[in-house]
Amino acid sequence: MIDDAIKLSAEALVRPFEGYHRRLPDGSCRAYPDPGTGERPWTIGWGSTGPDIGPDTVWSREAADARLNHELEGFASAVVRMSPRLLREPDSRLAAIISFAYNCGTGNYRISTLKKRVDEGDWAGAKQEIVKWNKAAGRVLNGLTRRRQAEAAML
């Protein structure tokens, strides 16, 4: 179940919304600044960030794919620990929350009203909460609005 939800999250939400940016002619990719801040965190591949990524970082497509899979496994484990009821729900619900956590962070999920609604099994309320997370650096971004709507549809 978790593996199916990770795959669904990657294919239906993370890859389409993160995109594979700064693709180089050989298929590799170069890091780019965060669209919300114009600087840190530097991002590469399918939206990967971290202390090992800076303005000069270049990855092969294989490295970007491997990092995405590894990160999604970690986010899936984290959200299931925080909201174990997701294991009893359809894969689409877990996939949506994995995508949310990948984009917004597990810390934000942990303190959110979204988590409270998920834990209560209030899926209508969860849909209302997830779409509120469409801002970066205090401003609404169209891409985040579309992503949150897609995640809400999967809830």
Q: Strands 135-136, 58-59: parallel, antiparallel or unpaired by DSSP?
A: unpaired
pTM of the model: 0.92
Range of the domain at 46: 2-154
pLDDT of amino acid 62? 97
Q: What is the CATH number of the domain that holds 28?
A: 1.10.530.40
What residue type is assigned to position 82 of the chain? M
27 φ, ψ (degrees, to nearest 5): 95, -10
Do residues 26 and 16 touch, judged by C-beta distance below 8 A? no
- 128 token code pair: 């209302």
Helices then strands, counting H and E runs in the chain, come out as 8, 4
- 53 token code pair: 């990524």
Burial class (CB within 10 angstroms; exposed 0-12, middle 13-18, buried 19+) of 114? buried
Total domains, the chain? 1
- How many Cα atoms sit within 13 Å of 35 on the Cβ side? 17
Q: What is the pLDDT along the chain (155 residues), one digit of tens a residue?
A: 799 999 999 999 999 999 898 999 999 999 999 877 788 889 999 999 999 999 999 999 999 999 999 999 999 999 999 999 999 999 999 999 999 999 999 999 999 999 999 999 999 999 999 999 999 888 999 999 999 999 999 99
pLDDT of amino acid 21? 86
Within 10 angstroms of residue 9's Cβ, the number of other Cβ atoms is 27
